[in-house]
């Protein structure tokens, strides 16, 4: 799969090594805390390991908003969804719009449900996933039946 058009502003671009751009997102301590509950930022070897794993085990895309890469999203075969939107691009409903495309992709693949691990302190992500119909089923687990 090469990519997907979400709307007039957002495209999902199939993953390719673009570490310089992506590392900037993962150099933001707050983003790292939201995503991985880390108290340190990513370095290049960790970023490469993460992307290699996700790319081998799922459909991994960069999020392109108004012709700028601003995050990434991965749909794994077990239905787990991972999404990161860089701090300067948050609160623009990019995540919701991307998730609508990921939900459609999951349906096309015949998946029955999606799930996401969201830390209890990450209110912003919880709100976004719940607005898309995900329900909290555990302290940090949200699920959407398709």
- Cα–Cα distance measured from residue 22 to residue 102, given in angstroms and rounded to the nearest whole number: 20
Structure-token pair, residue 113: 């449900």
Number of domains the chain contains: 1
Share of the chain above pLDDT 90, in %: 95
CA angle 100/104/106 to nearest 5° reads 115
Q: What is the CATH number of the domain that holds 37?
A: 3.40.630.30
* Pairing outcome for strands 3-5 and 10-14: antiparallel
- CB atoms < 10 A from the CB of 19, how many? 12
**Domain that residue 32 falls in:** 3-145
Structure-token pair, residue 73: 């999203």
- Residue 1 binned pLDDT confidence (cut-offs 50, 70, 90): low
For the segment 93-130, what is each residue's pLDDT rounded down to a tens digit? 999 999 999 999 999 999 999 999 999 999 999 999 99
């Amino acid at each position: 799969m090469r990519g997907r058009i979400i709307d007039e502003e957002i495209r999902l671009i199939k993953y390719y090594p673009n570490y310089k751009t992506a590392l900037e997102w993962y150099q933001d301590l707050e983003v790292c805390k939201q995503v991985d509950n880390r108290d340190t930022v990513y370095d290049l070897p960790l970023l490469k390991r993460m992307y290699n794993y996700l790319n081998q085990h799922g459909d991994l895309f960069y999020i392109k908003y108004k012709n700028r890469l601003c995050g990434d999203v991965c749909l794994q075969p077990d239905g787990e969804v991972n999404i990161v939107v860089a701090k300067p691009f948050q609160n623009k409903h990019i995540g919701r719009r991307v998730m609508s495309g990921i939900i459609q992709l999951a349906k096309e693949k015949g998946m029955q449900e999606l799930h996401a691990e969201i830390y209890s302190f990450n209110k912003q992500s919880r709100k976004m996933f719940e607005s898309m119909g995900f329900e909290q089923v555990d302290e940090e687990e949200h699920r959407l039946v398709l």
